[in-house]
Structure 1
């Protein structure tokens, strides 16, 4: 039986949570194994393709060394379907009370997406203190996160959106950033070529980032 996770468990496991888009369920297991071998265990499989739930289910069943999560949760139904497929955490591009309540009722940690102070306050009212800052670069980047350290000093963020190997360290150096989300360690061309060795190398590099 899997031990219950918290949002902090998800955020503190590694400096980077990969944002994964899969087109073929056959890629799910070898991709997850490559990431886990590189030290990246918390895997956000986005619900952006028709096969996403099947991919989550395969990872959950066949790759015990990884933790399957679901990204792009936009409704209570998304959260329920993801949990049924075996997702152990959720990530949303924004925040609504119905999504927050669904994940709470399911016992599934959620990193809700926020881009404004009002959205942070709404998520906090519902008990969420670990949040996804999205889209990070477009919504103000590192300067915005620095500005939020005063009024929202207790909140920890996972900035996602425009993060890459060249700027991840800048975000990770901030006191209120626990980890970052990014797709650079799971490039579409590497997945298409089934270049799992490259993905494992990118995962090792991401795991080594300091925060």
Structure 2
């Protein structure tokens, strides 16, 4: 998969909804129910972060849920690329970028949403062919104003900001022409996951899916 092909596929996935849930799931046994609630609420693209021992099992379980497109976040190494592909991930997300990770993803045909936080990083990814990028961590790197400013001299790149995105500021991002979607953890808070409150999570997902600039 070329970077241009990866960009097109990542864009297609991220156009499914204005918000991609960023999920930290500790128990694979509840993964399918969590995915069903988010998908029922209108958020089919799900990012499972590789931050827990059960993350690969969570991806595997969610990948079997009808109507969803499950990806893996926090990809840091080429080995992680192989692992998430084997688990069934359909896209990958990285907090930053290395040539080794991108090469591994391209060879594995895994569409990547690579992370950038500065104009130089954005330009380097664009030079390689990645026109759709993750802006992370968004809030402490200037938020929506920073992304708007980057878009002036680099108009060919669109972003999915994550890190500090909330229901209160999501529209600030989504109103920008160089923002395709946002990533957020608020749609699946840990207290609702622990309580197995799938109706509550579906409600939050439905509210997020309705966000329009």
TM-score (norm 1): 0.96
The 2-side partners of 1:64 and 1:77 are apart by 27
Please give the alpha-carbon distance, in whole angstroms, between the structure 2 residues aligned to 1:85 and 1:140. Answer: 35
Write out aligned runs for 1:13-162 (5 A): 13-61=16-64, 63-162=65-164
**8 A Cα contact 1:100 1:126, kept in partner:** no
Q: What is the number of equivalent residue pairs in this alignment? A: 207
Query: What is the deviation of 1:151?
Result: 1.6
> Normalized against structure 2, the TM-score is what?
0.95
Conservation of the 8 A alpha-carbon contact between 1:129 and 1:154: yes
Describe the SS at the equivalent of 2:104: helix
In 1, Cα distance between equivalents of 2:129 and 2:156? 12
Aligned to 1:164: 166
Unaligned runs of 5+ in 2: 1-5
- Runs (4+) of structure 1 moved beyond 6 Å? none
Task: Please give the per-residue CA displacement for 1:131-177, whole angstroms capped at 9, x wherever unaligned.
Answer: 00000010111111111112210111000000010100111000000
Matched, 1:179 2:154: no
Q: For the aligned residues, what is the CA RMSD?
A: 1.1
Offset at residue 64 of structure 1 (A): 2.1
